[in-house]
Amino acid sequence: MTDQINTTPRQSARIAPILFTMTIFLSAALLFFVQPLFTKITLPFVGGAPAVWTTAMLFFQTVLILGYVYAHLSTRYLPVMAQIALHLVLWAIALAFLPLSIEAGWQFDPASDVALQTLTLFALGVGMPFAVLSANAPLIQSWYAKSGGPSADDPYFLYGASNFGSLVALLAFPLAAEPLLGAQQIGIGWAGGFVILGGFLALSGLMARQGSVQAAPVAPVAGPSLRQYGWWLLLAFVPSSLMLAVTSKISTDLGSFPLVWVLPLSLYLLTFVLTFTNRPFLANRFLDLLFLISLAFFASIFGLRELAGVTLLLTMLLLAAFFFIAMKAHRTLYEARPDQGNLTLFYVTMSVGGALGGLFNSLLAPVVFADLQEGRLTIFVALLLLLAGARQVSVNTVSKAIVAAVIVLIPILTTSVFPGIFDDYFALAHVAVLGLVLYLMRGNRVQQFIVLVPLLALGFLLQPQAVAFKDRSFFGSHLVQDFDDLRVYKNGTTIHGAQRLNETGPDGRPAQLFYYHPDGPLAQVMTSPNGIAARSIGIVGLGVGAMACYAEPGQAWEFYEIDAMVDRVARDPALFTFLSTCTPDAPTHIGDARIVLEQQDDRAFDVLVIDAYSSDAVPVHLTTSEAIALYRDRTTETGVIVLHISNRYFDISRPLGRSAAALGMVAMVRNDPGDPDELTHSPSNVVIMGRSMDDLAGFTDPQRWELLTDDGGRVWTDDYANLLSILK
């Protein structure tokens, strides 16, 4: 059997690190490529609801655990050749699922459970290939331990190569693959990589077989203790949960810009690359100092800044602090690794800890908490790392720590009384003072713990002022807050609508504000001669219902909203009165608008408004040519499509101009600068489309609107869309 690889033992030892590194790198790259790829493929079928993304991540994390469990059982109970044969058989079965696609004729059923349908779709479409890839990281390391290569008794360095492959794939998909290729082409390339991987797996397995034949028998090793399992779980949980908490915090305050998702996850993967090695990136004493400063920063931000939100400067510092906390946790995890005999058990436990972080943030926290509290809780868990190896507590130690805690709590008490003074510089000054106090306590982790815990705990007690409503759904946090006589509905720094509490328009209706101001482009469309004459109006994206008060007698209005909680807020007259005053009988269709409209083939609106581009995210599946064609099919022969595309980061008019030209439609755009002297008249960008220029003439003012032409770029479809190409 050893003749199958025609090398001497010395040659094999030299080749082994290269071969196994290439194999695990390719496997990890394919693993991270397939997640955004298949989710992109499914979006037109199941919609772009955040719950769909959450369910997709739940699927991938669950299958990852199952893959690690399979690798553990395989290496524990099967001889090497049986492991190789079984894994290659599973790889061959997975080839039947390529190229990745949705089964012909599959249709979403809005009456059935969305999560169950999504899980089933992922299981049937990508379950087998993903399961094979999920098992490779621990399996390949176990095989390397038997190969006789350098450091075969400590193969954990390969996990760094695995995460480097994941990092490369994570960045390559949005930066290289999506801008150049469609999903179908990417899928074909991915399938080719999966085929090539089979050859690498076979070669790696055979080299492991050769090494195991030459190696002396290994004595059985004792299993980890319950305490070790708990420690591994804790160390894996903290970075996973904190990554999601940071992502939620930043996206809430700054908007859902793609890098908000990519950067935290990239840093998370990079920490594995830098820590799972015998040559650490930072010496432990420097890492401990940076870890302590990062804890101070998080304690201050989640203790005080939670009320004020974070700016771009604090966002960068937040990411840096997360990076060093994750570095500390993963470095400690690496140092707590078992010998290679328990390698697969170690990775199973790691995967469970990471999945628990995802489950806590994605599924449990939105149900338990009305706002973003999971960040504080995760930092509190991270503080437990300070107590590892802490010395015995004394009365003197505790008393000094209490005095120091009172000192660092004074700024919180001050800003709760005078919240306006808490700007970026104040925040950084507080972090500096806190960091100095903790540094003076160096060597006494118990004191550091006592100082930080009250800071985090007090953050739970501080709440925004004048809150009329606060809750949370899977689609985000919801806050209705009063500022004098202005009631604002917002998510982070994104305002979804507002109403004057003691002011109405000349007709007795609530006055529209911000994007819906009477001088804005949306108002112009609805109050134009054709807008007044329209009989049927469809509004995708409800907000507070401000558009409803442009309704005219005899018009039939219908709303489409993905989040039932938004409909609940808008219809509560104790919060906002647009709907109850102006269109009390207008129905709201709950669900992803594209999916719902697809089912409503009996609808034909005179005006269909797409107002779903919120929080600076771009719902691509609502922007493609297939989506525009659907909107056109849901309008009358002279009907128009109105798209509100205000966005701080993307120029969405560019792909819309291409789609209009490709579909034989005409489009106009108005970029309204708003009124800098009037806070409640926001800048807004609106596009209107119709079958002919005559259809648009009665809605637009030539002095304010201009023709939207095709810029010559590639048309966006369900198969291809390039977000980076429309960055402002």
**472: β partners:** 477
The pLDDT tens digits of the residues spanning 646-694 come to 987 889 999 999 999 999 999 999 999 998 878 788 899 999 999 999 9
Q: For residue 521, give the CATH number of its domain.
A: 3.40.50.150
CA within 13 Å, CB half, 270: 16
The answer to which of 190-199, 389-398, 436-445, 495-504 has the lowest mean pLDDT is: 389-398
The pLDDT value recorded for residue 460 is 64
Specify the amino acid at residue 372.
Answer: L
Q: Give the pLDDT mean for 119-125.
A: 89
Closest CA to 157 of 285, 24, 288: 24
| CA neighbor of 318 nearest in space, from 326, 330, 310 | 310
- In this prediction, residue 640 carries a pLDDT of 97
Is residue 328 within 8 A of residue 462, CB to CB? The reply is no
423: tokens are 């700007």
Percent of the chain at pLDDT > 90 equals: 44
Q: Tell how far CA 398 is from the center of its chain.
A: 40
Q: Which residues are paired to 672 by β-bridges?
A: 684
Which residue, among 32, 45, 191, has the nearest Cα to 624 in the 3D structure?
45
CB burial class (10 A; 0-12, 13-18, 19+) of residue 360?
buried
* Number of Cβ atoms within 10 Å of the Cβ of 507: 8
Strands (E), 229-376: none
The tokens describing 269, both together, are 């993967």
- Going by their DSSP bridges, the two strands 588-590 and 556-561 should be labelled as parallel
Q: Which of 131-135, 213-217, 381-385 has the highest mean pLDDT?
A: 131-135
Q: Which of 160, 193, 218 is the last residue of a domain?
A: 218
Tokens of 353: 């800890």
Average of pLDDT values for 307-324?
Answer: 77
Answer whether residue 89 shows pLDDT above 70.
Answer: yes
Query: Mean pLDDT over residues 223-236, rounded?
Result: 91
- Please, what is the average pLDDT of the chain? 84
User: Which of 183, 218, 253 is the last residue in one of the domains?
Assistant: 218
CATH number at residue 68: 1.20.1250
Cis peptide bond N-terminal to 155, omega within 30: no
Q: Which of 253-262, 279-288, 425-434, 601-610 has the lowest mean pLDDT?
A: 253-262
Per-residue model confidence (pLDDT) at position 50: 56
CA dihedral 222→228→233→238, nearest 10 degrees, is -140
For residue 355, pLDDT over 60 is answered with yes
Residue 241 in contact with residue 378, Cβ under 8 Å? yes
**What is the mean pLDDT of the segment spanning 46-54?**
64
User: Quick check: 216 pLDDT over 60?
Assistant: no
* 199 located within any domain: yes
609 within domain boundaries: yes
* pLDDT single digits (tens) 368-378: 777 677 888 88
Structural domain boundaries, residue 72: 1-218
Please identify, among 218, 253, 283, the residue that sits at the C-terminal boundary of a domain: 218
**pLDDT at 220 (0 to 100):** 55
Is residue 83 in some structural domain? yes
Q: Where are the alpha helices (DSSP H) in 47-79?
A: 50-77
Taking residue 476's Cβ as centre, other Cβ atoms within 10 Å add up to 23
In our burial notation (b when 16+ CB lie closer than 10 A, e otherwise), range 253-286 reads bbbbbeebbbbbbbbbbbbbbbbbbeebebeeee
* pLDDT at residue 99 is higher than 60: yes
Question: How far, in Å, are 110, 297, 477, 566, 620 from residue 590 at the CA level?
Answer: 10, 40, 18, 10, 19
Reduce the DSSP state of residue 134 to 3 states and report it: helix
Whether 462 has a pLDDT exceeding 70, the answer reads no
Cα(164)–Cα(28) distance, integer angstroms:
8
Percent helix, strand, coil in the chain, to 5, is 60, 10, 30
pLDDT tops 70 at residue 638: yes
Which helix (H) or strand (E) segment is 669 a member of?
strand 666-672
Is 208 a domain residue? yes
113 occurs within a structural domain = yes
For the chain, the domain total comes to: 2
pLDDT in tens, 538-596: 999 999 999 999 999 999 999 999 888 999 999 999 999 999 999 999 999 998 899 89
**Crossing angle, helix 80-94 and helix 183-214, to 10 degrees?**
170
How would residue 231 be classed by pLDDT, with cut points 50, 70 and 90?
very high
Residues 265, 166: Cα–Cα separation, whole Å: 10
Classify residue 161: in a domain, yes or no.
yes
pLDDT at 595 (0 to 100): 87
The encoded tokens of residue 568 equal 């609940």
| Among 607, 726, 703, 728, residue whose Cα is nearest residue 657 | 726
DSSP 172: H
Residues 6 or more apart in contact with residue 171 via CB below 8 angstroms: 262, 266
Q: Which of residues 332 and 10 earns the better pLDDT score?
A: 332
Is 651 contained in some domain?
Answer: yes
Lowest mean pLDDT among 65-74, 89-98, 162-171, 488-497: 488-497
Distances from the Cα of 387 to the Cα of 164, 351, 384, 393, angstroms: 31, 24, 5, 11
The pLDDT assigned to 24 comes to 95
CA distance 130 to 136: 10
For position 48, what pLDDT does the model report? 64
Residue 149 has pLDDT above 90, yes or no: no
pLDDT for residue 412: 63
Grade residue 316 by pLDDT with cuts at 50, 70 and 90: confident
Name the band, by pLDDT with cuts 50, 70 and 90, for residue 418: very low
Q: What is the dihedral of CA 172, 173, 175, 177, to 10 degrees?
A: 100
Which tokens is 428 given?
């950084």
Classify 279 as helix, strand or coil: coil
Mean pLDDT of 395-402: 78
Long-range contacts of residues 194-198, Cβ cutoff 8 Å, at least 24 apart: 194/30, 194/94, 194/95, 194/98, 194/129, 195/95, 195/98, 196/26, 197/23, 197/26, 197/27, 197/30, 197/91, 198/88, 198/91, 198/92, 198/95
Whether residue 298 is contained in a domain is answered as: no
Amino acid at 658: R
119 band by pLDDT with thresholds 50, 70 and 90: confident
Residue range 604-631: mean pLDDT, rounded? 88
User: Helix/strand/coil (H, E, C) string of 176-242?
Assistant: HHHHHCCHHHHHHHHHHHHHHHHHHHHHHHHHHHHHHHHCCCCCCCCCCCHHHHHHHHHHHHHHHHH
Tell me the pLDDT tens digit for each residue of 469-526: 988 776 777 889 998 889 999 876 667 889 998 877 777 899 999 999 999 999 999 9
Tokens of 560: 């489409």
